Amino acid sequence: MPDTLTQQEVNSKTDPSVSKQYDNETPKSQQIQEFYDFVDSKKIGLLSTFREGVGPVARSMATASRRGPDFLFLANVHSQKFADLSNNPSVQITFQDSSNMDWASITGTCTTTSNSDPRIKELWSNGTKAWFGDLGDGKHDGSASDPRMTLIEVKAKYVVYWKHTVGALGFAKEVGMAALTGKVANTGVTRELKEQDLESARKETQA
């Protein structure tokens, strides 16, 4: 049900749509697992780099692998995102499900590797070739050994995600009632995973 806006929230300059849905109750271990479940169901997200003189620049990227809270992407070293990363290794990854409004945002630090990284062969699939092309020189062929084939690794520092708690009809009813009554819609939970939470999750993965 919609929640009542309080004078204290206004005085403290609190965003009620965030504070009333902020999840302080669910154990962090469950929050992390449900984060994993969500991002694993979305094979493609937006990877945003920061370009000097422009700001954030996003592009669609298929996740090659998730290892704990961290992400790996195969990419063409000739793409402009590598120039962005050489100037600023900070990145953001976002995933969204338009069917239920669930979303996740991962802020992290990026490292890139050369084509000699053995993980490239582990992660490469035949479909990857479609994005590289084959020059016909026996070298630039879109294979795992193509010198353009490079690995981007994102180490997560901060995660925030929102998970729905009502279905489509419940969402419409909740928003409609809130608009009519002056209350605040409550349709899901907002969860934060901070650096210490992510480090604990990383250690669990490595154990």
Domains within the chain, CATH numbers bracketed = 26-162+193-206 (2.30.110.10)
Q: How many residues does the chain have?
A: 207
Overall average pLDDT of the 64-78 stretch:
97
Is residue 55's pLDDT more than 90?
Answer: yes
| Portion of the chain with pLDDT greater than 90, in percent | 76
Instruction: List, for residues 195-205, the tens digit of each pLDDT value.
Output: 999 999 999 88
> How much is the pTM?
0.90
The single-letter code of the amino acid at 133 is G
Binned at pLDDT 50, 70 and 90, residue 170 comes out as confident
Binned at pLDDT 50, 70 and 90, residue 80 comes out as very high
Contact 153, 63 (CB under 8 A): no
Binned at pLDDT 50, 70 and 90, residue 136 comes out as very high
Please tell me the predicted confidence (pLDDT) of residue 6.
82
Query: How distant is the alpha carbon of residue 199 from its chain centre?
Result: 17
Mean pLDDT of all residues belonging to the chain = 92
Is residue 151's pLDDT more than 90?
Answer: yes
Find the radius of gyration of the CA atoms of the chain: 21
Q: What are phi and psi of 103, to 5 degrees?
A: -150, 160
Whose CA is closest to 92, among 57, 59, 54, 47? 47
